[in-house]
Amino acid sequence: MRILLVSSEAVPFAKTGGLADVATGLAKALASDGHEVVLALPCYRRHIPEEGRGEKIGQVEVQMRMKRVRADILETTLPDTSLRVWLVDQSNYFDRASLYVEGGFDYADNSERFLFFSRAVLHAARNLYFLPHIIHANDWQTGAIPAIVKEKLRDTEDFRGVGTVFTIHNMAFHGAFPPWDLELTGLPQKLFNWRQMEFYGQLNLLKTGISFADMVTTVSPTYAREICRPEFGCGLDAVLAECGERLVGILNGVDMDAWNPELDPLIPQKYSSDRLQPGKAACKATLQSELGLNVSPKSLLFGMVTRLTDQKGLDLISARIENLLEADTQFAFLGTGDEGYEKLLRELEQRYPGRISATIGFNEKLAHRIEAGSDAYLMPSRFEPCGLNQQYSLLYGTIPIVHATGGLADSVTEATPENLANGTGNGFAFQRYDADAFLNACWRAVGMYQFRQDDWQRMQQIGMTRDWSWNRSGRDYMAVYEQALTRVKSTT
């Protein structure tokens, strides 16, 4: 299959969030499965050094209101692969300090910048004769693509039968702009209505993507259901609920080159599911000693690496951590964020020397060492679209304790005797977002760690041996692409 993957960011070129990891991880997985993939993104000149931009393979011109705007299409490859990457090089739009925001303000012309990008990529596909079967757009920046394809391109010979998929990575950003920006899409005024592109009087590009795509995805199956409800839908719950089977959740994969205890250069001793010890115990002892915790193999060490925000369940932790200290437990925290939580963690560290360590800051190496050296991992998030750290924990034999929401519910299964026997129990999950429910889940972990080591080890094996890679997610996306093509066929 030929797939055009359009994203406003992709590692290692430009990144502000998870979208960048997904774009690259997915592109690689699809290509390694034999599909012909082109990944397209803007050429952010201050982020992508000249020597990394490849060479010019064409030029496009797009009518933006009264002016015709040109861009060069540069082609390079993803490092260490032959995967084709197109960079849309337009210096007025993309030679800026940041991707979207500067000095706390969105760029005033963000709609123009990304509508140009979206349209330029479609022009490039035609001019350069890369005629895809599927165009996969992501988040509001490329939300107009499914509309342009459906309303304009599908009537042309080159794009007949092409399917579109739109993925929501971040519900919070709608890409909402004044109604007159509709002109920048090149689409007719009649589409500016409450069922298609309009949301409360504004042009809404997230809604546009959702309304027009043949298939819509988000980053986990549970989150796909949750966003159809007002608590999670950021105002678009009704639009999403209407998608029905057109909306699918696919859990993001893990970059196994970066997060794999067998290969990880950042941890003190490597280990695997076949040979967990002595590596895992050595990682724990090193972590304890580096962080000033008591070096005690028997204490249950809880780890947590996170943005310190309300989303991540720190209110539950602060409410019950002192109860948990009554048992033989320790805590290793790493994070930055809200001042109140930073202060709280610092105070806890001072009050409980040898039992609690708090590192305030962003530290990649320590993040890996906490994943490897902890026994259990705390992730009681209030909501979590996908979540990566619980997946890293599972891969590192570190037992996740999670609130059963979003991607956490889809990756962590309570280790009941039944689930241990059937090979699914890999952690502890509580259903209600509540301090006592959280505490109970932690007690279940403490109890098993102290008295049922065989079950604990079984649980570690279950987590470590499941496929968390992009290959699995890539297959799920392929199934969605097929569904999109079937839908197109049935409507034309």
Q: Which residues bind ligand ADP (CB under 6 A)?
A: 18, 305-307, 334-336, 362-364, 367, 387-389
Which residue, 210, 206, 287, is CA-closest to 243?
210
CB of 389 to ligand ADP, least distance (A): 4
CB 8 within 8 A of CB 139: yes
The number of beta carbons lying within 10 Å of the beta carbon of residue 311 is 13
What are the angstrom distances between the C-alpha of 15 and each of 8, 63, 82? Answer: 9, 28, 21
CB of 193 to ligand ADP, least distance (A): 34
**Cα–Cα distance, 284 to 158 (Å, whole number):** 58
Q: Which C-beta is closer to ligand ADP: that of 204 or that of 393? A: 393
CB 61 within 8 A of CB 70: yes
Q: Which C-beta is closer to ligand ADP: that of 54 or that of 233? A: 233
The number of beta carbons lying within 10 Å of the beta carbon of residue 82 is 7
CB of 430 to ligand ADP, least distance (A): 18
CB of 367 to ligand ADP, least distance (A): 4
Q: Which C-beta is closer to ligand ADP: that of 188 or that of 340? A: 340
What are the angstrom distances between the C-alpha of 180 and each of 295, 383, 397? Answer: 64, 35, 54
Q: Which C-beta is closer to ligand ADP: that of 296 or that of 309? A: 309
Q: Which C-beta is closer to ligand ADP: that of 307 or that of 351? A: 307
Q: Which C-beta is closer to ligand ADP: that of 153 or that of 358? A: 358
**Nearby residues of 139 by Cβ (< 8 Å), 6 or more positions away:** 7, 8, 19, 167, 168, 169, 170, 173, 175, 206, 209
CB of 62 to ligand ADP, least distance (A): 33
> Tokens 């760690």, residue?
449
DSSP 8-state secondary structure symbol assigned to residue 388: S
CB of 35 to ligand ADP, least distance (A): 26
